[in-house]
A = this chain, B = another copy of it.
Amino acid sequence: MSALESIRAPLGFLRTALPTVPHHDLLESEQDWWSTAALPISSAIDRAGIPWVRMFDRSGKRVDEILYPAEYYTMLRRGYRAGVIWRALEEKSLIPSYLLIYAISFYDPGICCPYTVSLGTALPLSKYGSAETQGRFLPHLLSKDDSVWQGATWMTEIEGGSDLGAGVKTIARPAGDRWLLTGDKYFASNAHAELAVAAARPEGALPGVRGLALFLVPRFRSDGSLNLSIRRLKDKIATRSVPTGEIELRESEAYLLGSADSGIYLILEVLNLSRVANSVVSVALAQRAMADALAYAECRAAFGKRILDHPLLHHQFQARLHSLRSAFALAWESVRLLDQVWTEHPPYSDRYHLFRLVAHLAKYWTAEFAIDTAKWTMEVHGGLGTLAEFGVERWLREAMILAIWEGTSHRQILDGLEVMERKQAHKLLFAHLAGSAPSHEVRELEADIQRLLTLPTDQKEVQAEPLFRRLAFFTASHLSS
């Protein structure tokens, strides 16, 4: 039983999964707060469904305020103050951010989305913003008190998010020292953020992804008026602590990041941040679901003993704990690699391409694991698992979203295939794992991948899935052993 004890709280597990836990005291104090004060808040937000939007104030002026309960902001700001954003730039490392994301998403997987997209705003601004733009906006994002601004990442339009080259119809027109954007963003995370990064196509730019640019879009114009409209919030099945909205940009003021023809690189760098966060949150969610299952299995009896003590269930707990460790190792490897490459500019190093493959494997594998664990937790609860009253069905809803946003499994497979094909990333991975994985296994897997890559495109895609899954399992296993 003692091994299972580690799953009851995030720090307990981190201690078993990392050689040392940086920022241990910070994490402990956060864990204390979230496990007491934040739990009922998070549940209440989930039960409440999508919040209201107040579109007009009493004078008839459009305001587009999102009416979360006041306690939502208490919870939300806690993470900002703890440093989920400011530490990344102050400590020049992403490790503290992702540690906080792990610890917090054990309690609320949705609220880590605002943190992640704020990171996805602050980091590109710090890398690609002009001095003036940085001076204007960065201090707000890095504030250590409740005046902190939030960021947001608005890429996807109604045509869909996978094929951004075709899907982004938002147009950008230059207007003096800034740009004016017009278009509709369909999945706009953190819709009430004070500052967002948004993909748009400058007038006259190339078609496809080459013609995209990345812009900063503040919530208010420089004259103080609203710079955009929130058409509505999405009625999502979960992650209700992030307000995902539809945003209407109408000649909205914007500031170019980087150059007008390099947007796709910046977009993908933003996506790297959120994809890695997705993996970290997926593992934390799986741990949480297991912790709930454990608490239940300890207090329920059938056929004369606690259900935890029934051999089949007990075995499932042990096996799943093993998988949890593998999944964490894979996710954390994507964190460690990203921490090494996130300051790179194109053209990127091999380390970056290795990171990309690991990030695809981790996104794919951890989300599948989170769903499977959430489903299992519901089954452990039997009929109670299907009731809103007991709260565990929430983990399946949350996990299902994790499997879809930042790219579905389908997309991870195909993008993983591409980075293997173009950059030989699988070879980089095998070299990276050298020492921890037996060489005959590596040779066999490498040969199978080479075979796959030489197939005609159609065949390659059709056959990619089992091999990608095998590679993910292989990598996770050897990282955690």
Contacts and interface: CB of A to CB of B under 8 A. Distances in A.
Interface string A376-420: 001101111111111001001000110111001110011000000
A166 B158 CA distance: 37
A40 interface: yes
B401 A386 contact: yes
A381 to B, nearest CB: 8
Interface of A: 37, 40-41, 43-44, 47-48, 52, 54-56, 58-60, 67, 69-71, 74, 156, 158-163, 166, 186-187, 231-232, 234-238, 295-296, 299-304, 310-315, 371, 375, 378-379, 381-390, 393, 396, 400-401, 403-405, 408-410, 413-414, 457-462, 464-465
Given A52-B47, A69-B44, A383-B161, A378 B400 contact: yes
A371 B375 contact: yes
Contacts of A310: 461
Nearest to A314: B462
B313 A410 contact: yes
B311 A40 contact: no
Nearest to A239: B386
Which of A48, A71, A299 has the largest number of chain B CB atoms within 10 A? A71
Given A43-B67, A69-B69, 17 more contacts: A44-B67, A54-B389, A55-B232, A55-B389, A58-B381, A59-B300, A60-B300, A166-B301, A234-B389, A235-B387, A236-B388, A311-B457, A312-B414, A312-B461, A379-B410, A382-B404, A382-B408
Contacts of A371: 375
Contacts of A302: 160, 162-163, 166
Q: How many copies does the complex hold?
A: 4
Given A382-B161, A408-B379, A311 B59 contact: no
25 contacts: A41-B71, A44-B67, A55-B389, A56-B389, A58-B296, A58-B299, A59-B299, A162-B302, A163-B302, A186-B383, A234-B387, A234-B389, A237-B387, A238-B386, A310-B461, A311-B460, A311-B461, A311-B462, A312-B410, A313-B410, A315-B462, A379-B409, A382-B404, A383-B404, A396-B400
A413 B310 CA distance: 13
A459 B75 CA distance: 46
A386 B237 contact: yes
Contacts of A55: 232, 389
Given A44-B67, A69-B71, A382-B162, A400 B375 contact: yes
A77 to B, nearest CB: 14
Chain A to chain B: the 5 pairs with minimum beta-carbon distance, closest first? A311-B461, A163-B302, A44-B69, A71-B71, A59-B299
Contacts of A60: 158-160, 300
B403 A375 contact: yes
Contacts of A54: 389
A235 B383 contact: no
A306 to B, nearest CB: 11
A288 to B, nearest CB: 15
